Amino acid sequence: MTDLNTREPRAKNKITTILLQKDIDLLFSKRKSLARSGSQTKTLSSIYTVRELEANSEPILFLLHAPKRSIKEAHLRNKLKRWMREAIRQCDEIAEIYSLLAERKSQVLILLRADFKPSKDHAWQQIKDDIRIIADRLMKNLHSS
């Protein structure tokens, strides 16, 4: 049995979502494109913005979106969001971005949008690959700025 006080924090597994409308408004007003589905990624598109890190906040805040207009069934929208959360948890590049942002005292707000229904062409593996591509592109953009 392990002692709870000796456990390491599980910050890598925690995904913090954007909850405030003012943060969503800021994301859309000052957005920069990261990836477009179809040309840079297969399934996901994304936008982001960078700002100064606020007190008691995480360096990365996510907004996961599966639009009702293109994905009618709620269980498919929920499945896509679960896949996106799990792909983020498994992506090592996200942990690197997290530490870089904490070092710089910056925060990234990022929207990940699933543009297609789950199918054999748009399944778990494609979402996982797309998250890695998006993380790589974000890392390059952060290093260049």
Per residue in 36-51, pLDDT (tens digit) is 988 899 999 999 999 9
Q: Which residues contact 50 (CB under 8 A, 6 or more apart)?
A: 106, 107, 108, 142, 145
- Write out pLDDT tens, residues 112-132: 999 898 988 889 999 999 999
pLDDT at 13 (0 to 100): 65
SS3 109: strand
What is the percentage of the chain residues whose pLDDT exceeds 90? 77
Q: Is the pLDDT of residue 3 over 50?
A: no
Cβ pair 55, 93 in contact under 8 A: no
Distance CA 100, CA 105 (A): 9
Cβ pair 127, 44 in contact under 8 A: yes
Distance CA 38, CA 24 (A): 25
- Write out pLDDT tens, residues 89-113: 999 999 999 999 999 999 999 999 9
